[in-house]
Structure 1
Amino acid sequence: MAEKVFTIKNPSGLHARPAMMLVQKASAFPCEVTIIKDDKKVNAKSIMGIMSLGIRQGETLTVVTEGEQEQEALQAVGEIIESVLE
């Protein structure tokens, strides 16, 4: 299992387009990818789960990966979270 905290840098937060990119990136890996915000846990491969978090700029998310290629998945998902996408 791998775990890391990331901060949202995008001024618009994690709205539909970057959320979809995050889901696509997470889905490219065979491991489980979970995103935790406050007390909510969601599957990072679920667009509805990601959107339900209402993620805004400056908020922190914990990403937990478990299984095959967990380190690679953690890095790739983290890059999406911390990028500034319009």
Structure 2
Amino acid sequence: MAERLVTVGWPEGLHARPASIFVRSVMALGVAVTIAKPGGTPSNAASMLAVLGLGAQGGEEIVLASEAEGADAALDQLAELVTKGLDELPETV
């Protein structure tokens, strides 16, 4: 299981627009990913309701995890997206 502990870089947290950016990015990667607060129950990161229900604020830590093939590369991209509060997935090398 690949995991990344990341700090939410969007000042408003994972709400509305940032949550939409994140969910679209997860779906674009095509890798099953879960999202949770540390110690919390993992939820489907491709679900807008699950991401909004997490209630992650700017500066809070979240855990992204996946057991899928290609998980490390996908989680690295998502971690960068969340940490930097980007508007789209970073380019892969």
TM-score (norm 2): 0.81
- Where has structure 1 moved over 6 Å in runs of 4 or more? none
Do the aligned partners of 1:30 and 1:69 also contact (CA within 8 Å) in 2? no
Do the aligned partners of 2:10 and 2:18 also contact (CA within 8 Å) in 1? no
Distance apart, 1:40 and its partner CA: 2.9
Do the aligned partners of 1:30 and 1:67 also contact (CA within 8 Å) in 2? no
Could you tell me which runs of 5 or more consecutive residues in structure 2 were left unpaired when the two chains were aligned: 88-93
Q: Which residue of 1 aligns with 2:91?
A: none
Whole-Å Cα distance in 2 between the matches of residues 33 and 15 of structure 1? 18
Could you tell me which runs of 5 or more consecutive residues in structure 1 were left unpaired when the two chains were aligned: none
Structure 1 residues 17-76: Cα deviation after superposition (integer angstroms, max 9, x where no partner)? 111111111112332100111423211100110000111012100110121221121012
TM-score (norm 1): 0.87
Whole-Å Cα distance in 2 between the matches of residues 83 and 32 of structure 1? 22
Q: Which residue of 2 aligns with 1:28?
A: 28
Q: Which residue of 2 aligns with 1:14?
A: 14
What secondary structure sits across from 2:42 in the alignment? strand
Q: Cα RMSD over matched residues?
A: 1.7
Q: Which has the higher strand share?
A: 1
Identical-residue share of aligned pairs (%): 36
What secondary structure sits across from 2:57 in the alignment? coil
Aligned length in residues: 86
Whole-Å Cα distance in 2 between the matches of residues 40 and 78 of structure 1? 19
